[in-house]
Amino acid sequence: MKIYIFRFGHRLERDKRITTHCALVSRAFGACKMFYSGQEDPSFENSVKEVQEDWGGNFTIEYIPDWEKFFNINKDKYYIVHLTMYGTAFDDFAKNFNKTFKKGLQKQKKDLLIFVGSQKVPTAVYHFANANVCVTNQPHSEVCALGVLLNALVDYRTVKFSGAKIKVKPNLKGKTIVKN
Amino acid sequence: MKIYIFRFGHRLERDKRITTHCALVSRAFGACKMFYSGQEDPSFENSVKEVQEDWGGNFTIEYIPDWEKFFNINKDKYYIVHLTMYGTAFDDFAKNFNKTFKKGLQKQKKDLLIFVGSQKVPTAVYHFANANVCVTNQPHSEVCALGVLLNALVDYRTVKFSGAKIKVKPNLKGKTIVKN
């Protein structure tokens, strides 16, 4: 089962760093690809590519001009989890997902898609999502929500970053970078 | 034991949304206060205050003009955890912290302070920190790292938000806000 992210409603300038952070978090926790809608932004895409050139991996980004069309065509390929502060608890969801849903998806050859809002998310999304999941019911950050959910679904230690030029050797008191 | 956050090196404009997200994540996971250094930014402070007016809680923010002086004077009051991609694994740290360190800190009447970088963090911080902890050894996001670490240290369901005017009632398929 692969993990995809859909970043909805990206805005140039305002969301540049937040969307970049979402993409880097997705990559770090082993997602294979981020789709994004809203305004096309080669600058954010390049920031992520630059990180990947050094740190490795095969994470990709694709701009989707028409998000409704995308979901009309593709939604049955995915089990869609919409991250929203109005949803039900991510930890309960993750427990069920890891125990049972995951095997079901593997049998159906479906992948997981995590839908991350930016601008106001249309009501339709709450309905076509297979699950509306929150990380606390407080307003905070889609970057945090995405990271906390991914961490509950993925063992980050198993994620591979092929072609990395550099990697970190964990250090108690400083920085150690090892060249590959 | 209280949880404090120190956001280091805030930059106006560039970090406005990232620092706001860090503050909101801190609040959502029950931290009591964020100190920040770098450039003073009433606009970010107000964004967080506005959220709190509706959603409740007693989270505060204080600008620290001289971070070195702050730590010279205060560092023994805290057990300092520096979030860095060069550190050791947060989940191993959290396991030990929850099992043993926490009780020790309570006896010593020390609180926890999580140090979150923005601009390049001076080497001194790696040395005065009691622990240098990472959320994966990949470059991603301080907002995510903070959220994932806090989630490993705190049961978010126990956090109270006193004086909230509104709260969310978790919903499988939409948004439900309840007025208090």
Average pLDDT over residues A62-84: 97
Q: Is the pLDDT of residue A101 over 90?
A: no
Interface membership of A86 toward B (CB under 8 Å) = yes
Interface test with B, best of A18, A29, A54, A137 (most B CBs within 10 A): A137
Which among A123, A139, A144 has CB closest to B51? A139
> What single-letter amino acid sits at B4?
Y
pLDDT for A149 equals 98
Interface membership of B173 toward A (CB under 8 Å) = yes
What tokens does B69 get?
Answer: 């002086």
pLDDT for A118 equals 85
Domains of chain A: residue spans and CATH: 3-179 (3.40.1280.10)
Which among B134, B141, B176 has CB closest to A86? B176
- The string of pLDDT tens digits covering residues B83-109 is 999 999 999 999 999 998 888 888 889
- For B169, other C-beta atoms within 10 Å of its C-beta total 10
pLDDT for A96 equals 94
Do A18 and B21 lie within an 8 Å CB cutoff? yes
Lowest-pLDDT range, A66-70, A98-102, A173-177, B169-173?
A98-102
Cα–Cα distances (Å) from B17 to A27, B43, B44, in that order, read 21, 10, 8
pLDDT for A88 equals 94
The residue behind tokens 């593709």 is A74
What tokens does B148 get?
Answer: 């994932």
| pLDDT above 90: percentage of residues in chain A | 91
Closest C-alpha among B130, B81, B132, B79 to residue B108: B79
The pLDDT mean for chain A works out to 96
Q: Which helix H or strand E contains B67, and what residues bound it? A: helix B67-74
Degrees to nearest 5, angle at CA B35 with A173 and A152 = 65
The residue behind tokens 């620092």 is B19
Lowest-pLDDT range, A61-70, A96-105, B122-131, B147-156?
A96-105
Q: How confident is the model at residue B70 (pLDDT cuts 50, 70, 90)?
A: very high
What tokens does A131 get?
Answer: 């699950």
- The string of pLDDT tens digits covering residues A4-51 is 999 999 999 899 999 999 999 999 999 999 999 999 999 999 999 999
Interface test with A, best of B51, B138, B156 (most A CBs within 10 A): B138
pLDDT for A74 equals 96
pLDDT for A131 equals 96
Average pLDDT over residues A101-124: 92
| pLDDT above 70: percentage of residues in chain A | 100
Closest C-alpha among A60, A41, A59 to residue A161: A59
Q: Is the pLDDT of residue B38 over 90?
A: yes
Closest C-alpha among B3, B44, B40, B1 to residue B24: B44
- In terms of C-beta density within 10 A (0-12 exposed, 13-18 middle, 19 or more buried), how is residue A147 classed? buried
Residue A161: CA count within 13 A, CB half-sphere? 23
pLDDT for B6 equals 98
